[in-house]
Structure 1
């Protein structure tokens, strides 16, 4: 029973990874597509390849998910698997709801909310201090850093190019966006695919097939492949929101937003080992570069709806995961 459940949980985790790919594909390519730096198909192919490469660059974020959210080691194997299963159900449910509504919410926070909700409903303890340090604080500061840094860099860039001819300057930034979009997609794979790796290791460790903190190569390849496949399938609803509904971007602003977002992702993955939201980071950077036109250029009504989705993500995913834990726990136990 536990072996079959572990296999099912691994498959479901890869399904979540796939939804993460098409849900968050817009993060990497919406700005490049909206400024016509890349065609949609070329952008999707590039993002899929870079997501795959990014997923293989490290394991620190995966280890944080596997060992610093829910305390599983004292629970019985079927209880551990039930918690992971219901956490994934909560995260996938929220991903699909926000994808349908076209809201760029966080797959990262949906997964973390699912783990917290399922863990508490299953009678397990959570690592409160680690969650505050590695989830809550980055959740607050990453968008603020993204907005502020993007705004400041865009102001400086506008001053540098103020005397340049507009048409050739924008052409150069379209070329530069190819690089910045690739960097953003690499950061997305580095962050988001690792979270699925962490969940898979949690399931494998429950039945003695892996050790927390050690990611088998096949897990890395499977997670990288699933998120790349999801990315290639596209996320057009969310892409329209990020690329056009918040603000109409030009190539220079798109380049700055992507570059800032990629930098924030790399710092958190390699230095802080924090599982931050690529969605929050790129959205706040887009708002930052947009505000350099004038504050009214940003469609704050759309931004407000996005912010509401951000606030609701963790508690909504936690609630769904908790409900499934209460329903499935007695059946699987």
Structure 2
């Protein structure tokens, strides 16, 4: 069998594996607040998130096209399938490491950093599409700050609107609302995160000469959505523990505020075809909500640990992808 064919098949397999891992790695973020407030039982929350992730993933393709062409040009990328395979191996390794230690790192940072690192290793710095790459970096960097601000404002508004309401009844009502906001959160997660694997597979098909446009084929959309949904069905309870309880003590009103804030930002990014880190956005929204509730109530030590992981993910995954590319190049 031709080497290009083998590499392309491997890319598809690893891309679906990345989506599957992304499902159980990042889904925890989408349902963490609803589980921690006991609005939903873990199994129910995971099942609901799996369905909503699938629906979200199969509905949109704008982010997939951005991944396909905005980091590097797949039509001019030499050794394209090898570059993409190296990037996937790097991103999957980082996701598994951070999942094992229960750290809510970013799958988006991992895959984007890995694509850039492997591409530079193959073709030098000139290979990067700097305009598109910087646009993606700006979205990744700015979205957590926007999430903190929106989370703070939404929670502040809730405090004003419900200050004279009975606390027990208010929390009971918000616990019911959380079922809907958790479903919305999972849907928006699917609209943005699953598309990254779609974009990667499309890149590989272009690099292999099997496709001449950046259109995402139907079977790619379905396969990636299914992989994301199946991964979601497994769940990531270690990360639920970190996001849902270690950043701050979450009550139902806080959970609704955080879910609405982060879902609106993620879906907004999807509509303008920009990949963002759902992990960053959700964790940041919780920090903003916590700060509006009580600044000292946020466990800033845990928050600092999370932020540090955000910062190091992109350069580490880029460096690791470059190393993986050189190793694969020796064999292929």
In the alignment, the residues of structure 2 paired with residue 221 and residue 96 of structure 1 have an alpha-carbon distance, to the nearest angstrom, of 24
* Separation (CA, whole Å) in 2 of partners of 1:181 and 1:92: 26
Q: Is structure 2 residue 69 aligned with structure 1 residue 67?
A: yes
Q: Deviations over 1:300-330 (max 9, x none)?
A: 1100110110001111111110001111113
State the distance in 1 between where 2:304 and 2:144 align: 14
Matches of 1:30 and 1:117 in 2, distance apart? 32
2:304 aligns to what?
Answer: 304
Provide closer, same or farther for how the CA distance between residues 241 and 273 of structure 1 changes in structure 2, counting only shifts above 3 A.
same
- Look up the match of 1:32: 34
1:94 aligned residue:
94
Question: Where does the alignment leave 5 or more consecutive residues of structure 2 unmatched?
Answer: none
Question: Which residue number in structure 2 is paired with residue 290 of structure 1?
Answer: 290
Which of 47, 50, 62 is 1:48 aligned to?
50
Contact 1:201 1:211 in 2 (8 A): no
Secondary structure at the aligned position of 2:71 is classed as coil
* RMSD (Å), alpha carbons: 1.0
Q: Deviations over 1:61-81 (max 9, x none)?
A: 0000001101332244xx101
Q: 1:140, CA displacement in angstroms?
A: 2.0
Give me the whole-angstrom Cα distance separating, in 1, the residues matched to 2:190 and 2:159. 31
Q: CA deviation at 1:12?
A: 0.6
Q: Could you tell me which residue of structure 1 aligns to residue 15 of structure 2?
A: 13
Larger deviation, residues 293-302 vs 82-91: 293-302
* 3-state SS, counterpart of residue 189 of structure 1: helix
Deviations 1:138-178 (A, max 9, x none): 12211111111111111111111111111111111011111
The 10-residue stretch of structure 1 (203-212 or 187-196) with the greater mean CA deviation from structure 2: 203-212
SS of the equivalent of 1:56 reads: helix
Q: Residues 187-202 of structure 1 correspond to what in structure 2 (within 5 A)?
A: 187-202=188-203
- In the alignment, the residues of structure 1 paired with residue 73 and residue 142 of structure 2 have an alpha-carbon distance, to the nearest angstrom, of 26
Question: Tell me, what secondary structure is at the counterpart of 1:37?
Answer: coil
User: How far 1:107 sits from its partner (Å)?
Assistant: 0.3
Name the residue aligned to 2:6. Answer: 4
Task: Map Cα deviations across residues 221-249 of structure 1 (whole Å, 9 max, x no partner).
Answer: 10000011111101011110000111110
Instruction: State whether structure 2 residue 257 is matched by structure 1 residue 251.
Output: no
Flag structure 1 segments of 5+ consecutive residues without an equivalent: none
Q: Which residue of 2 aligns with 1:109?
A: 109
Tell me the equivalent position of 2:152.
Answer: 151
Q: State yes or no: 1:320 paired with 2:320.
A: yes
Show CA shifts across 1:251-307 (max 9, x none).
Answer: 00100100111100111111x211011000000000011112221111111001101
Show structure 1 runs of 4+ deviating over 6 A.
none
Three-state SS of the structure 2 residue aligned to 1:291 is helix
Q: How does 1:212-223 map to 2 (within 5 A)?
A: 212-223=213-224
CA contact (8 A) 2:63 2:270 kept: yes
Q: Tell me if the contact between 1:34 and 1:244 (Cα under 8 Å) persists in the aligned partners.
A: yes
Asked whether the equivalents of residues 138 and 276 of structure 1 are also in contact (C-alpha less than 8 Å), the reply is: yes
Q: Whole-Å Cα distance in 2 between the matches of residues 316 and 225 of structure 1?
A: 29
CA distance in 2, matches of 1:315, 1:24: 20
8 Å contact kept, 2:74–2:206: no
C-alpha distance in 1, partners of 2:130/2:208? 25
Cα distance change on mapping 1:89 and 1:212 into 2, 3 Å: farther
Under a length normalisation based on structure 2, what TM-score does the superposition of the two structures give?
0.97
Instruction: Between 234-243 and 66-75, report the one with greater CA deviation.
Output: 66-75
Contact in 2 for aligned 1:202/1:212 (Cα 8 Å): no
